[in-house]
Amino acid sequence: MKPSTHPIFWRDDCLPFVELRQVLDGRLVSYAPHTHETWSIGAILSGRSEFLCVNRLHAVQKGHLVMMNPEEVHACNPLQDSPWAYYMMHLDKDWLASMLFDHQLKDQLEWQDTRLDTLLDEVLYEDFVCLCGQLMNNDLSHQEKEQSLIEWLCSLFHRLNQSVAVTSSSLSYNPLYQVANYLNEHCLEDTPIAEISHKFGYSTSYLVRSFKRHFYLTPHAYRLNRRVQLGQKALKTGQSIVDVAHNVGFNDQAHFQRVFKQRVAATPDQYRRS
């Protein structure tokens, strides 16, 4: 029997700080550049793919762990005709920062971005694959799953601390952050980019060009990405797809489905039903 091309999402209301995705046959998966609010880590289970993280391109294959900081633009897609399977785990950055601080693996409670995009470590890789299986095992308790998750994350960050220092997530001032903040706060509005450009004293062409150079997304794509993030949160609560599409700023369900799938590699229904 061929592996399913549909992604499997695992979530647990008792462990709201972690979400897991499993893709067994991702040959037809195609991600548009996007971001997550979470800190994310994945394992390539089979095949080869290209992992674009900000402006850094990596060739990854079975045995690789890949990592993405919150709001870091990335995309990972299989090479042509290559089988591709993977796990991807998303972790709430505040929960993770607090846990690492409590276990004396970080010296401050605030989130600090990691510096590595990829990691080749056979033990950590095998243990991560085992952890994912444990999380999806209905016979284990919530406490057992949380303990396994914390133990593995402590092992990972002990390894990361040995490999490379982390950098603060604070950002130097740039006027474009005002535009990004506006797009975040008003992401449900369809204000033309030209009007936003004028509001902040830029020509439209300059804003689009400068914004993409800095954030690796156009202002329009940045706004759509934020809407998808809000859509994911709403779908987790069981709201209907029609209502979610309308509530996060899409005029019709078809447009929402198309944009959502480009960034999540799953339909809203697949994501909601998991």
Structure confidence at residue 164 (pLDDT): 57
In a domain, 2, yes or no: no
Indicate the residue among 117, 148, 168 that finishes a domain: 168
Residue 41 Cα distances to 108, 142, 212, 243, angstroms: 21, 21, 25, 31
Q: Are 135 and 149 in contact (CB under 8 A)?
A: yes
In a domain, 256, yes or no: yes
Q: What is the pLDDT of residue 273?
A: 84
Q: What share of the chain in percent tops pLDDT 70?
A: 93
Band of the pLDDT at 32, cuts 50, 70, 90? confident
Over the stretch 170-215, which tens digit does the pLDDT of each residue have?
A: 445 578 989 999 999 999 999 999 999 999 999 999 999 999 998 8
Contact 225, 264 (CB under 8 A): no
Q: Are residues 16 and 138 in the same domain?
A: yes
What would the mean pLDDT of 3-21 be, rounded to a whole number? Answer: 88
Output the pLDDT for position 55: 86
Say if residue 46's pLDDT is above 80.
Answer: yes
CATH of the domain at 204: 1.10.10.60
Write the CB contacts of 185 (distance below 8 Å, at least 6 apart in sequence). none
Average pLDDT across the chain, whole number? 90
State the residue range of the domain holding 118: 8-168
Q: Please, what's the b/e burial string for 57-94 (b: 16 or more CB within 10 A of its CB; e: otherwise)?
A: eeebeeebbbbbbbbbbbbbbbeeeebbbbbbbbbbbe
* Shared-domain flag, residues 17 and 59: yes
Mean pLDDT score, 223-246: 94
pLDDT in tens, 50-64: 899 998 999 999 999
Are 78 and 181 found together in one domain? no
Q: Are residues 148 and 233 in the same domain?
A: no
With cut-offs at 50, 70 and 90, classify the pLDDT of residue 227.
very high
Q: Rounded to two decimals, what is the model's pTM?
A: 0.84
pLDDT score recorded for residue 141: 97
- Using an 8 Å Cβ cutoff, are 145 and 152 in contact? no
Res 61: pLDDT: 93
Structural domain count of the chain = 2
Question: What pLDDT is stored for residue 79 in this prediction?
Answer: 79
Domain membership flag for residue 3 = no
Return contacts of 132-138, CB within 8 angstroms, 24+ apart.
132/20, 132/22, 132/43, 132/87, 132/89, 135/10, 135/12, 135/18, 135/20, 136/8, 136/10, 136/20, 136/22
Question: What is d(CA 78, CA 61) in angstroms, rounded to the nearest whole number?
Answer: 9
Q: pLDDT for 94-142, tens place per residue?
A: 999 999 999 999 999 999 999 999 999 999 999 999 999 999 999 999 9
